[in-house]
Structure 1
Amino acid sequence: MTYILPGAPWLIAHRSMLGVNQPHKVTLNGQDYALWQNDRGEVFALNNVCPHMQAPLSNGWICKERNTITCPFHALEFDGEGKLHREGKRDIQPFAQPLKLTVIGDCIWTYGDCEPRTGIPDIVEQIASKYDFIGIAGDKTIQGDFLSTWLINSDFNHQNGTHRELFQIVQNQMTEFDKNGYWYKVKQESTRANNSVRELLSNPVLFTIPKILKSTVEYFFPSVLVLYAETGSGPFAQVVVQYPQQQNQTKIYELIFAKFKSVWIKPLLRQSMLKAIDVVVEQDSTAIETRYPHQPTKIRLPNEEVMIYALELYREW
């Protein structure tokens, strides 16, 4: 198996994605895993392949009395250590292979089967302590390699084309670029078009975007990046998560946090905000999936030093 960025910490799930006593399938670096969370909040993960006749454990069910995952073929039960439960007894040796997890708050991290190369960033916990969790958006498997997916989130020019209709941004200026190893940060100012009342009503998310939107994007390569911005309804933080599923498949989802100034506006803006981010991810996915095979770049645009730095980090990993 060829690992993409071995030793990187991957945020493979948020608790809200798991439910309780429900199998959840995750694919990381070509390997499928079955995750589940019990009613005490404990999280477990096993190789998704049943060691008997290779059934996918994630298609089975959870026995909450014994905290086991049950194979859908023959109802064989395995606990979080991969040990088989049968006839009221628990085998000493594991048959199924467990996946080592690190659970911090609501975030479920793993290094896969690799030795850690860099630490787990605590940025999501910092944000969760200051903002309200709004929900998950943009949950999608992109038919594209990990690097292309990361680079499009380091591209400070594509909003003028890819997201032109959604956000009506006519100009984007990068005002600051700091970097230190696997961490880097960008500050930008985005100028929105003069929208008509009809345009605003058809796209409510525009009500939250000032004429000049000042935002900060903080990167924790290669696991997460966070966009911070202040809108008329209050500040928000958009945590973009991605990890490699296969060589040419990348999982992406976003954790959305906000601090609305008025309680009544929260339900009004929540759905439009999550929907807008769904559209952003879909547009980025289309951009990645419809490109022709890589060719040498013949044109340079302003602000591309961020992508160049990300590319260097990837190649030097």
Structure 2
Amino acid sequence: MNYILPGTPWLIAHKSMLGMNRPNKITLNGRDYVLWQNSKGEVFALDNICPHMQAPLHEGWVCAERDTITCPFHALEFDGKGRYLDSNRSLSTLTHPLELTIIDDCVWTYGGCEAKLPIPDTIERRSQGFRFVGVTGHHSVRGDFLSNLLINYDYNHIKGTHRELFKIEANEITNYQTNDYQIKLDQKIIRARNSFKELLINPILGLLPQIYLNRFEYSFPSLNTLVGEFPVGKVLQVIAIYPETENQTKTFTLVYAQSNPVLLALSKPFLLRSAAEIVKQDIMAVESLYPRHPPKIKLPDEKIMFHAEKLYRNWGQ
């Protein structure tokens, strides 16, 4: 497949997603990799194919004593640099490592391409003063990368796609700023009250006022971050996407919060559930789309979405 947006830094995982000494498979731009984390918090990544008989390394196991991944077919061991550890304990490089950069437990990679954009400091900067709550909304989406990208920049779909969950009646975009690959804006949400039954299912909805503010900041093309301000505190959501294949896109959401520690502990499962539901609804929308064609209707604030599409289509020019 053609590499989508070569030179982009992709956020492929948070260290909490990897477990300890456990193989994890990821696919980036049509290529499979195996990732694992040792007890020191170091993360390694190799091509997922054993160079002996092409077995998938992620189906093997990690040898914690030597920080190696072991092939499930013949128990051949490879270290984090792709070196084969033979029976004489000598090393020779036979498979390729994937270069990683770890920043605040976030795992970034350029997928073997020369960097065109720096790794954004968005998460590090916006999460100051927040506690990490967890990861949610981890899915492979049946949809091309551009479709998944644009739904994050589409401020009109909230009145349809998320209307039932959040009782959204209107939203207003203000303070729109763009600087090449960075976008900032504020979104005012006006909503109706949730029913008693809805509050029983997800009590976190009871903390949402009828009018509240979301502050968005984008780092094209991989991150969409928003801080929601509520009477009891703030919630930061970081939505990450990256292309698995031409028609498959990975997404997951990091959730941070700033609130009373007791309230935060009680609300954690509901925060994660609400964020996961937003992602689920967006996925259903993307996966139900017919092939794209030029729109015959224009809606307010679509210039934000069109700006992102222009960046995508002009990449590399």
- Name the TM tier (shorter chain): over 0.9
Question: Partner amino acid for 1:283?
Answer: Q
Shift of 1:170: 0.5
Following superposition, the deviation at residue 196 of structure 1 comes to: 4.0
Q: Cα deviation per residue 1:149-188 (whole Å; 9 max; x = unaligned)?
A: 1110111111111111111110011112100010011211
Unaligned runs of 5+ in 1: none
Other-structure match for 2:17: 17
* 1:1-317 correspondence to structure 2 within 5 Å: 1-92=1-92, 94-260=93-259, 262-317=260-315
Offset at 1:25?
0.7
Instruction: Read off the aligned partner of 1:169 and give its amino acid letter.
Output: I
On the 8 A contact 1:141/1:249 being kept in 2, the answer is: yes
Q: Deviations over 1:64-109 (max 9, x none)?
A: 11111000000000001111111132223x1111111111120111
1:22-58 residue CA offsets vs partner (Å, 9 max, x unmatched): 1111110000000011111111100000000110001
Q: Which AA in structure 2 matches 1:252?
A: T
Q: Is the 8 A contact 1:19 1:37 kept in 2?
A: yes
The separation in 2 between residues aligned to 1:208 and 1:49, in whole angstroms, is 48
Runs of at least 4 residues off by over 4 Å: none
- State the 1:206 CA deviation: 1.6
Of the structure 1 ranges 70-79 and 230-239, higher mean CA displacement relative to structure 2 is found in: 230-239
Q: CA deviation at 1:264?
A: 2.0
Code of the aligned partner of 2:193: N
In structure 2, give the amino acid aligned to 1:64. Answer: A
Q: Is the 1:83–1:90 contact (alpha carbons within 8 Å) kept by the matching residues of 2?
A: no
Q: Is the 8 A contact 1:244 1:251 kept in 2?
A: yes
Contact 2:55-2:71 at 8 Å conserved across structures: yes
Q: Is the 8 A contact 1:141 1:250 kept in 2?
A: yes
Shift in Å, 1:272: 1.0
CA displacement at 1:232 relative to structure 2: 2.2
Instruction: Please give the alpha-carbon distance, in whole angstroms, between the structure 2 residues aligned to 1:276 and 1:225.
Output: 17
Q: Match of 2:253, as an amino acid? A: E
Could you give the per-residue CA deviations for residues 112-133 of structure 1, whole angstroms, max 9, x where no partner exists? Answer: 0210001001121223432000
Q: How many residues align?
A: 315
Distance in 2 (CA, whole Å) between partners of 1:128 and 1:175 is 22
Is the CA contact (8 Å cut-off) linking 2:100 and 2:107 kept in structure 1?
Answer: yes
- 1:302 counterpart SS class: coil
CA distance in 1, matches of 2:130, 2:202: 25
- State the superposition RMSD in angstroms: 1.2
Name the % identity: 50
SS in 2 for 1:53: coil
The alpha carbon displacement at 1:198 in A equals 4.1
Q: How does the TM-score come out when normalised to structure 2?
A: 0.96
User: How far apart, CA to CA, are the structure 1 residues paired with 2:161 and 2:258?
Assistant: 28
Equivalents in 2 of 1:230, 1:113: separation in Å?
38
Aligned partner of 1:135: which letter? Answer: G
The amino acid of 1:58's aligned partner reads H
Q: Does the aligned pair in 2 maintain the 1:127–1:257 contact within 8 Å?
A: no
- The Cα of 1:136 is off from its aligned counterpart by 0.6
Q: What is the identity, as a one-letter code, of the residue corresponding to 1:91? A: L
Paired residue secondary structure (1:171): strand
CA distance in 1, matches of 2:116, 2:281: 32
Over 3 Å counting, the alpha-carbon distance change for 1:22 and 1:195 in structure 2 is: closer
Letter in 1 for 2:268: R
Looking at structure 1, the residues matched to 201 and 250 of structure 2 have their Cα atoms a distance apart, in angstroms, of: 30
Distance 1:109 1:103 in 2: 6
